[in-house]
Amino acid sequence: MSNVGLASQVRPSVEPLIVPVPRTSAVVEVWSEFALALGVPMSHINDILRKGLDNYLIGSAIIYFFNSTDEVVLDVELKMDWKKHQMMVGFEPNITLCAQRPFTEQLHSSFRRLLVYLRRIKAEESVARVELRVRFRDERNANPELLEQARAALGLVPGGPLRYAQGVRQPDMTFRFAPIPETTFVVREIWPTK
Question: What is the separation, in whole angstroms, between the first and last Cα of the chain?
Answer: 68
List the alpha helices (DSSP H) in 19-143.
23-37, 42-44, 51-54, 82-91, 103-107, 110-124, 138-141
> Over its length of 194 residues, how does the chain's per-residue pLDDT go in tens digits?
444 444 445 555 666 688 899 999 999 999 999 999 999 999 999 999 999 999 999 999 999 999 999 999 999 999 999 999 999 999 999 999 998 899 998 999 899 899 999 999 999 999 999 999 999 999 999 999 999 999 999 999 999 999 999 999 999 999 999 899 999 999 999 998 86
Cα 65 versus chain centre, distance: 14
Task: Say if pTM beats, i.e. exceeds, 0.85.
Answer: yes
3-state DSSP assignment of residue 47: helix
**CA angle 186–191–194, rounded 5-degree value:** 180
Of 122, 121, 159, 136, the residue nearest 56 (C-alpha):
136
Give the number of other CB atoms < 10 A from CB of residue 124. Answer: 11
Class of domain 17-191: alpha beta
Radius of gyration of the chain (CA): 20
Contact 177, 79 (CB under 8 A): no
- Classify residue 147 by burial, with Cβ atoms within 10 Å: 0-12, 13-18, 19+: middle
Give phi and psi for 109, each to the nearest 5. Answer: -65, -20
**Which stretch of DSSP H or E encloses residue 57?**
none
